[in-house]
Amino acid sequence: MESKKKIAIIGAGPGGLAAAMLLAHDGYDVHVYEAKPHVGGRNARLTLEDVYHFDIGPTFFLYKPLLDEVFAKVNRKLDDKVTLIPLDPLYQLIFKHKKIYPSSNPSVMREEISRVFPGNERGYDQYLKEEGKRFSAISKVLKLPFTKISDYLHPDVVTGLPYLDPFRSLYQRLQRFFKDEELIYAMAFQAKYLGMSPWQCPSAFSILSYMEHAYGLFHVKGGLNALAQAMKEEAESFGATFHFNARVNQLEIENQRVTSIIVNEQKIDVDGAILNGDFATSIQELVDEKHRPSWNNKKLSKKNYSCSTFMLYLGLDTQYEHLHHHNLIFSEDYRSNVLDMTERLVLTPDASFYVHNPVKLDPSIAPVGHSALYVLVPVPNTLADIDWNVLKEDYTQRVLQFLEERAGCKDITKHIQAMKVITPFDWRDDFGVYLGATFNMAHSFDQLLYFRAHNRFNDIPNLYLVGGGTHPGSGLPTIYQSALISTQLLKDDLK
C-alpha cells in the first residue's frame, strides 16, 4: 500500500473484528471504536460471580470453512488460535413424545431416521444430494456484493438463481424430502437463527441445516466468545488499535463522504469508516437523516424485523447429566408458537425454548460439579404490546418452570447460585438492537441481496457496513462473509 489510510471501525462485534483483521493485515491504519469495555458485541462473554462463564448470544458455530477463509486471508490458521470440539450428536431435539439426536455423520443420521422416522431414509439421501448442489450454487451468490441491480446478471447469480427456489418457503422445501412433521422441524428449526418462521423463511435457507449436516457443528473451548477474543488478538498483531468505552456519537459527512467521526466529543479525521453497530439503530443515531435519503427513518420503520429472545443465564451448583450440549424443546404446537412469536406478537404458554449446556464438553466454564446453563426463549420483538419491565419476574419463573417440567431439570431453583436475565427491552436499551430484534432485519426475499442495506452504503460511498444488518445476513458465517465483501470493496475503492 502506498499510504496508510485511516479507517474507523465502529463496533467490535464479529463483523467489525473480522474487518479489523483483514484491513490491518493489508496495512491500513485501523482503529476500532467500541462502546462497551470489551469485544464481541452480542458474541461477548458474560461472567457471573467470577466463576460461571456464558456466551451472551451465538452458541452454534456452523460452517467453519468461512472463518477458516478469513484467517487464511491473513496467513493464519483458526485451529492454531482456538480449540474446536466437534459435536456428535449435533443436538438433542425434544418433542412431546419423541427425542431425536441428529448427527453430521450420514450413516449415524440414517440409523437415527430409521429408529424414529422409518420410511424417510431415502428422503434424507435425496436431501443431502439436492441441498449439496444448492448450497454450492447459493454460497457463490452470497459472496457477491449486490451493490447494484445489475449484479443479478453476474454468471454466478444466473446459475444460482434457479436454486434459490424463491416461491417456496423453507417448510415447503423440506416437505419435498420428509413425510414426518417432526423430522421437518428437525431440519427447519434453524430458521430460528434468523429469527424467522419456517413457513415464511425463504426456502434458500434450507442451506442452514445442510451446513450443519455436511460440515458439522463445533464448540469453541471457553465459549464462542473465544472467537472474538482470538480475532482481536490477530487484528492487534497486525497493528490495529482498539478503543474501548468509546461510543461513536456522530459521523461527519461532507460531499457524501465520511470525513470524520465524533467519539467522546473528540473529532477524528478518517479516510473511510466501517459500521458494525446494529444497522437500523446506528445509522439513525450516527448519520443525519438528510445524508441518507435511501435509508431514511420512515423506510427503516417500514421494514420487517426478526423476533427477539428472552434469556436466562444460570450458574448452578449441579450438573444435569441428561442434557446435551445443545437442547431444543419444542412446543406441542410448534407452528402456532412460531405464529405467536412472528405475527400475532403474543407469548405462547408452552413456548419452544433452547438450552445450552457446555459444561459437558468444556469444564472450563464452571467450577467442578457446577454448570452454566444458557436458556433462550424466542419471543416477539418490542413491537408487541408486552411490558417486559412488568413481566420480567413472572416470565423468569415461567421459564424456570419450563426447565423443571419440560427439560427435566429437577429442583432447578434450589441449585441457582447466580442468574442474569436479558429481556427484549434489554436488547433494545443496553445492546442498541433496533426493536430488540436480536437477529436484525428479517430475511424475507424483499429484504435480501440487493434489497438489504448494501455493504457499501448507498448514500455515502466511503461508509461500509458489516454485521447481521447488511448483506448477506445475520448469523456468524454470513457476518464473516459481510466482512470479506465490505473490506474488498473498501480496498478497491481506496486504491
**Interface with ligand FAD includes 11 (CB under 6 A)?**
yes
Q: Candidates 56-64, 181-189, 198-206, 455-463: pick the segment binding ligand FAD (CB under 6 A).
A: 56-64
Contact with ligand FAD (CB under 6 A) among 7, 8, 9, 13: 13
**Interface with ligand FAD includes 277 (CB under 6 A)?**
yes
**Interface with ligand FAD includes 379 (CB under 6 A)?**
no
To ligand FAD, the closest distance from the beta carbon of 66 in angstroms equals 10
Q: Candidates 79-87, 90-98, 234-242, 475-483: pick the segment binding ligand FAD (CB under 6 A).
A: 475-483
Annotate each residue in 118-147 with x if it binds ligand FAD (CB under 6 A) or - if it does not, as one string.
------------------------------
Distance of CA 249 to CAs 246, 252, 370, Å?
A: 9, 10, 42
**Interface with ligand FAD includes 36 (CB under 6 A)?**
yes
Q: What single string gives the DSSP state of each residue in 293-357?
A: GGG-HHHHHHS-B--EEEEEEEEESS--TT--SEEEE--TTHHHHHHIIIII----TT--EEEE-
Q: Judge whether 432 and 281 are in contact, CB under 8 Å.
A: yes
**Interface with ligand FAD includes 33 (CB under 6 A)?**
yes
**Residue whose CB is less far from ligand FAD, 123 or 475:** 475
Cell 446459475 locates to: 159
Contact with ligand FAD (CB under 6 A) among 12, 187, 375, 386: 12
Distance, CA of 461 to chain centre: 26
**Interface with ligand FAD includes 57 (CB under 6 A)?**
yes
Q: Candidates 29-37, 154-162, 172-180, 202-210: pick the segment binding ligand FAD (CB under 6 A).
A: 29-37
**Interface with ligand FAD includes 309 (CB under 6 A)?**
yes
Q: φ and ψ at 298, to 5 degrees?
A: -65, -45
Strand-pair category, 29-33 with 241-243: parallel
**Residue whose CB is less far from ligand FAD, 415 or 443:** 443
To ligand FAD, the closest distance from the beta carbon of 40 in angstroms equals 6
Beta bridge partners of 453: 470
Contact with ligand FAD (CB under 6 A) among 371, 438, 481, 486: 438
* Footprint of ligand FAD on 195-254 (CB under 6 A): 247-248
Q: Which of 228, 249, 413, 220 is nearest to 317 (CA)?
A: 413
Q: Judge whether 353 and 377 are in contact, CB under 8 Å.
A: yes
Cell numbers of 419, please? 442468574
Distance, CA of 274 to chain centre: 19
Q: Report the SS3 class of residue 10.
A: strand
Long-range interactions of 139-142: CB distance < 8 A, separation 24+: 139/207, 141/449, 142/472, 142/478, 142/481
To ligand FAD, the closest distance from the beta carbon of 363 in angstroms equals 21
Contact with ligand FAD (CB under 6 A) among 174, 376, 441, 442: 376
Q: Candidates 58-66, 77-85, 164-172, 312-320: pick the segment binding ligand FAD (CB under 6 A).
A: 58-66
Strand-pair category, 308-316 with 353-356: unpaired
**Residue whose CB is less far from ligand FAD, 14 or 123:** 14
**Residue whose CB is less far from ligand FAD, 15 or 202:** 15
To ligand FAD, the closest distance from the beta carbon of 478 in angstroms equals 8
Amino acid making up residue 171: Y
By rule CB under 6 A, what count of residues binds ligand FAD?
A: 35
Q: Which of 315, 65, 60 is nearest to 214 (CA)?
A: 65
Q: Report the SS3 class of residue 368.
A: coil
**Interface with ligand FAD includes 479 (CB under 6 A)?**
yes
CA distance 324 to 359: 10
Residues of this chain that bind ligand FAD (CB under 6 A): 10-15, 33-36, 41-43, 57-60, 193, 247-248, 276-278, 282, 309, 376, 432, 438-439, 467-468, 474-476, 479
